[in-house]
Amino acid sequence: MSCVSVPKILMPKPGVDLYKWAVVACDQYTSQPEYWDETDRIVGNSPSTLRITLPEVFLETSDVDARTNEINNTMKQYLSDGILTELPAGFILTERFSGGATPRRGLVAAIDLECYEYTAGSRSLVRPTEKTVVERIPPRLEIRKHASIEVPHIMLLIDDPDRTIIEPMFEKTAELEQIYNTDLMQNGGHINGWFIPEGKQTDHLISAMDALNDRETFNQKYRLTEDLPLLPFAVGDGNHSMATAKAYWEDVKKHLTPEEQATHPARFALCEIVNIHDESLMIEPIHRVMFHVDPDDLLSAAKEFYAANGSTCEISLSENTHAYIPSQQETSHTVGICFGNKTGMLTVKNPKWGIALGTLQAFLDTYMEQHPHAKIDYIHGTDVVNALGRAADNMGFFLPNIEKNDLFRGVIIDGVLPRKTFSMGEAHEKRYYMESKMIVK
């Protein structure tokens, strides 16, 4: 069974202003209501995905029920008025320019939710990269269970270092119908999309993605000595949206016969499939700062923790105030550390975790359980870590850059990566809502 399905995608009818139609993912700018106020001003009375999604900045407001009802009514109106029209079955090849040197190139397709699990220890072919916070699902599920369509911002990653699947399709765009070509509001850049009708080309793409499941190639790619669960697809962005779609499908399918389950639209989630080796994707580590700790005690506890887990922990320190950024290594994991006027390295040899952050976070989680007063924060900039980590009773940790292959390897070996492992682009670079799909019969 293939995880990839050819959907019938809904697009706005000709004449709809796509600049006003496409709005950034609802989980962005959650502390900036002024961003959404400006988006509302730009959209005005025009058809827009702003009217059929709920920005999470409003998720806990007193009028959330009224907003949800209005969203569901607007979905029905857009369908009945013909503002949204269904294309024939097919994929959409998409190209997004958002200010970097190269565009992000992806493929909008449907994923069979029977291939996806978000629970800990999942062996499914589609898995999250980071832990799913199940408490975030119910409010999203409340919106989805009354909706007629989905408007997704899920980005699904494949690991195709030789760029053999998606990228060659861009040599054939002259043969395809271009269905959108528009600037995006609020510093979103520009986006193009071409329709790939169901047929030989979609069959080829599905076969190429299915080939990611070849066991011999898989084990060699990730340096595996045992047959760990295959992972052709990893959710890079929008995992809680995908988890909500899964929860909704699990509820819907209880009331369906096996024959009805096979083709029900709620079984398939629309997403953008992107090669993790796409040059536009910048995978950046998120560093750590610990607060209310005794650094000497913490380092002593680290040695004991790693020894108990079959590893050796070595610590080297010097008196300087420059950040040390380590490199990722295969046989040992090193993180930079700083506190007071000390800078150094914490190296774990023979680690049982897949990447350096997994090795570090396993210890920090245990330490915080044993020291309830200790707190942690997740920091993007090394300069901020260097400043905060040197304050009294604090300690900073600098993570190495994450190799793109190692992101998949970390999920394969560790199950999921720790929370706040990496960032993938700034807020304005996140997916804008454009395509949609029916989820009810």
Listed range (195-204, 231-240, 398-407) with the worst mean pLDDT: 398-407
Residue of 350 and 426 predicted with greater confidence: 350
Instruction: Give 278-334 pLDDT, tens digit per residue.
Output: 999 988 888 999 999 999 999 999 999 999 999 999 999 998 767 666 765 667 999
Tell how far CA 296 is from the center of its chain: 36
Share of the chain above pLDDT 90, in %: 76
C-alpha closest to that of 127 among 139, 117, 140, 114: 117
pLDDT band, residue 61 (cuts 50/70/90) = confident
- Determine the average pLDDT of the residues in 333-345: 95
Helices (H), 174-294: 200-210, 215-221, 239-253, 258-263
C-alpha closest to that of 376 among 419, 342, 407: 419
Residue 431 DSSP code: P
pLDDT band, residue 276 (cuts 50/70/90) = very high
Instruction: Give 74-106 pLDDT, tens digit per residue.
Output: 999 999 999 999 999 999 999 999 988 899 999
DSSP structure string for 77-140: HHHHTTSEEEEEEEEEEEEEESSSSS-EEEEEEEEEGGGB--STT---SEEESB---GGGHHHH
pLDDT band, residue 208 (cuts 50/70/90) = very high
pLDDT at position 141: 92
> Bridge partners of 246?
none
pLDDT band, residue 15 (cuts 50/70/90) = very high
- Determine the average pLDDT of the residues in 344-372: 94
Listed range (35-39, 161-165, 278-282, 335-339) with the worst mean pLDDT: 278-282
Distance CA 42, CA 37 (A): 9
- Determine the average pLDDT of the residues in 117-136: 88
Q: What is the pTM of this model?
A: 0.84
Distance CA 243, CA 124 (A): 13
Listed range (176-190, 267-281, 311-325) with the worst mean pLDDT: 311-325
C-alpha closest to that of 200 among 91, 352, 118, 117: 91
Residue of 260 and 384 predicted with greater confidence: 260
Domain ranges of the chain: 4-282+426-438, 287-398
